[in-house]
Amino acid sequence: MISYDKFSASQRYVAGFSIACAAAAVQWALWLSLGSRIPFLVFVSSLAMCAILLGPGPAGVVLMVGFVSGLLMLEPIHSFHVEESGDQLALTAYVALGLMFLFAGSKLRRYARVAEDARTEVAAASMRAEHAVQRQEKRFLVAIEASAVPFSLLDPVRDANGAIVDFRWSYLNRAAAATLGFERDSLIGRKINDVLPGSWDEPGMLERYCSVSATGESQQFEFYSSANGIKGWYHVYASALDDSIVVWFQDITEQKQGEQSLQEEAKSKDRFIATLAHELRNPLAPIQQATSLMRQPGASDHTRQWAAEVIDRQSRHMAVLLNDLLDMSRISRGVLTLRKALVEVKPAIHDAIEAADPLIRTKQHELIVRMPPHDVYLEADQVRVTQILSNLLTNAAKYTDSGGTILLAVEAEDDTVSICVSDTGIGIKAEKLQEIFEMFTQVRPERDNQDGGLGIGLAVTKGLVELHGGTIEAASDGPGAGSRFTVRLPAAQQHVPAAVDAGAREHKQAPGALRVLIADDNHDAADVLASLMELQGNEVHVAYEGQAALAAYHAFRPHVAFLDIGMPLLTGVQVAEAIRAAAGGGNVTLVAVTGWGQDNDRANTLRAGFNHHLTKPVSFDRMEEILQEVRQQAEVV
């Protein structure tokens, strides 16, 4: 291809001039040998060559040199005059032919330049396109390489009949190689079944890939892999790319496990609600029957007494269930606070045994208690320690066939007190030892649930132990071999003389009459409580709403007032505030009796001036304890 632009204008003119001189020399030589009438052959051909190769300017130089040479060499020689008409014609023809070549040469040059420009443009465009493709490819690769989602490109491997029998990796990203547990380079070009034998054993797997390759339609599916040490759930998305297939696969094991545990949790909750309904109905039936029995006109005193005991027992059972539920809810919300004090272990154990005693007796178990010779102190909430131990003792009694042995052993180490409750009961399977401390999962569906509870007792127990900074562990040599629960609590750093605690517990039975005000809009609740208080020898006044309660306070001036909170006209809190604001109102002991037992409810009542906050159903023993305190303060004992 001719390219004038390779030379500068001066170079072209120098070349043109040189060609013209060379042509003049040749022409001169020819003239000398062939005569002056030789046409301007050399000049014409040089001019044509210059016009094409160097452009019209240099060709013009050749034309001029040729013309001057013609003038000089045509007769008369060495003059600028041409005499003969034939020579004049030849010179004119030379100039005309030269101008035509010049014109044609300049045209040709322009076309050549256009063609050259077009060629350059095409080359640049194709280079740009190539770069764009390379950049695109690079971006695509970077994206795929950076992707955490495993990706691979598979080419089909066919048998002699053309049927696909396997696939081989033609590309896979880093994530895919890592998931498969291989170096990427060791996989590329290899057949899947050679590297991961049994990959196509998963029913329908190879068929799916074949169908994608054959039909070009994408497919997505989930499958569980257990071959070649690759365990887990995968979501696969396969689509066709020419004859090959592109496969994205994502590890969804965690998501699947989450779904499964949600399903299990939902099932556990359903089971829990069913058990809860059952457990709450259980005591309700005897309570209703005992109530009907008491109403019978022919019922003897003995029958009524027995019915009252049934109601008492069953309502206590319900209260335990409800309290456990509330405690569990508070523990899981992190709002259960402990009232820690320096406490001795012995009284907590005593109270726990007292709580579990009815069941231990009914099942005729032998209870052995082993204590260290010296007193053991804890920095703990005594009520909660009692609850922990009574749960363990009750379970030991529940899950041991009649006539078993329960051992409660206390050991004091340097900074830990360990309390172990072991039994000779049904034992626990090793795989259940952890599970039994979880909420909802402890209910024993495989067993007649007659003795079992809601399955939250141990969850509450563990929560309470951990709130104290302690640990609890279960051990068992297996079914039928008994169980052992060990609670470890931090020991108190300081010791307290034993007399402090003994003294505190001495005044339990002290009798003495008090003036007691009972206010509750539930007439039955108020009346029953009033009867019980009167039976203890107290003077009792009952009010069924807030204003009447306040009036009764002023008229009656009680030592102690049990006030329901949710009363009409004035709430218990308003009554308490009015009493505290009245002259002498600071002396009376105010007890809030309410169904609301959250910490902020307690804080509210204490702020209003109450001395105690009791949650319904209130144990009469607790009320009696409060009366006892009031008796002491009032010195009416």
> By CB under 6 A, which span of 98-106, 115-123, 456-464, 591-599 interacts with ligand ADP?
456-464
Tokens linked to 39: 């046409």
Judge whether 593 and 520 are in contact, CB under 8 Å.
yes
- Phi and psi (nearest 5°) for 21? -65, -45
Other CB atoms within a 10 A radius of the CB of residue 129 amount to 10
Contacts of 627 (CB under 8 A, 6+ apart): 514, 516, 533, 536, 538, 560
Which residues touch 29 (CB under 8 Å, ≥6 apart)? Answer: none
Among 62, 396, 561, 579, binds ligand ADP (CB under 6 A): 396
**Angstrom distance (rounded) from CA 230 to CA 212:** 24
**Which is closer to ligand ADP, CB of 105 or CB of 452?**
452
- Span from 147-155, 228-236, 294-302, 447-455 in contact with ligand ADP (CB under 6 A): 447-455
- Of residues 449, 471, 461, 322, the one with CA closest to residue 398: 449
> Any idea how long the chain is?
637
Residues in the interface with ligand ADP (CB under 6 A) total 20
Residue 441 Cβ, how far from ligand ADP at the closest point, in Å?
Answer: 8
Which range touches ligand ADP (CB under 6 A), out of 204-212, 257-265, 435-443, 549-557?
A: 435-443
Beta bridge partner(s), residue 247:
152, 238
Q: Based on the shown chain and the rule CB under 6 A, indicate whether residue 425 belongs to the binding site for ligand ADP.
A: yes
Q: Measured from the CB of residue 147, what is the shortest distance to ligand ADP in angstroms? A: 47
Between 236 and 322, CB nearer to ligand ADP: 322
CB-based burial, 569-592: b 16+ in 10 Å, e otherwise: ebbbbbbbbbbeeeeebeebbbbb
Under rule CB under 6 A, residue 272 binds ligand ADP? no
Q: In this chain, which of 179, 442, 594, 605 binds ligand ADP, going by CB under 6 A?
A: 442
**Smallest gap, in angstroms, from Cβ of residue 478 to ligand ADP?**
11
Stretch that binds ligand ADP, among 51-59, 102-110, 452-460, 488-496 (CB under 6 A): 452-460
* Site string (467-506) toward ligand ADP, x via CB under 6 A: ----------------x-----------------------
Q: Report the SS3 class of residue 293.
A: helix
For the CB of residue 323, give the shortest distance to ligand ADP in the complex, in Å. 13
DSSP 426-480: S---GGGTTGGGSSSS---TTS-TTS---S-HHHHHHHHHHHTT-EEEEEESSTT
Q: Contact at 8 Å (CB) between 5 and 116?
A: yes
Q: In this structure, what DSSP letter does residue 619 have?
A: P
From the CB of residue 113, how many other CB atoms can be counted at a distance below 10 Å?
15
Q: Which is nearer to ligand ADP, 412 or 426 (CB)?
A: 426
CB of 438 to ligand ADP, least distance (A): 9
Whichever of 455 and 558 has its CB closer to ligand ADP, that residue is 455
- Name 57's Cβ contacts closer than 8 Å, sequence gap at least 6: 9, 12, 13, 16
- Does the footprint of ligand ADP cover residue 457 (CB under 6 A)? yes
**Structural contact between residues 467 and 336, judged by C-beta atoms closer than 8 angstroms:** yes
262: its two tokens: 């949600």
For residues 585 and 579, the answer to whether their CB atoms sit within 8 Å is: yes
Among 456, 518, 550, 608, which residue sits at the site for ligand ADP (rule: CB under 6 A)? 456
User: Is residue 436 involved in binding ligand ADP (CB under 6 A)?
Assistant: yes
Residue 395 C-beta: closest distance to ligand ADP, Å: 3
- If one asks whether residue 419 binds ligand ADP (CB under 6 A), the answer comes out as no
Which is nearer to ligand ADP, 428 or 561 (by Cβ)?
Answer: 428
Q: Considering beta carbons, is residue 422 or 589 the nearer one to ligand ADP?
A: 422
Among 455, 463, 470, 572, binds ligand ADP (CB under 6 A): 455
Of the pair 183, 401, the CB lying nearest ligand ADP is at: 401
Phi, psi of 101 (to 5 degrees): -65, -40
Interface with ligand ADP, residue 424, by CB under 6 A: no
Query: Any contact of residue 283 with ligand ADP (CB under 6 A)?
Result: no
Q: What is the rounded radius of gyration, in angstroms, for the C-alpha atoms of the chain?
A: 54
Q: How far is the CB of 325 from ligand ADP (least distance, A)?
A: 11
- Tell me the two tokens of residue 392: 């363990």
Q: Look at residue 38 and give its three-state secondary structure.
A: coil
Query: CA-CA distance, 606 to 600, in Å (whole number)?
Result: 10
Q: Which is nearer to ligand ADP, 404 or 558 (CB)?
A: 404
Per-residue x/- track, 296-315, ligand ADP (CB under 6 A):
--------------------
Nearer to ligand ADP, 394 or 574 (CB): 394
Does position 53 interact with ligand ADP (CB under 6 A)? The reply is no
Contact residues toward ligand ADP (CB under 6 A) are 395-396, 399, 423, 425-426, 428, 436, 442-444, 452-459, 483
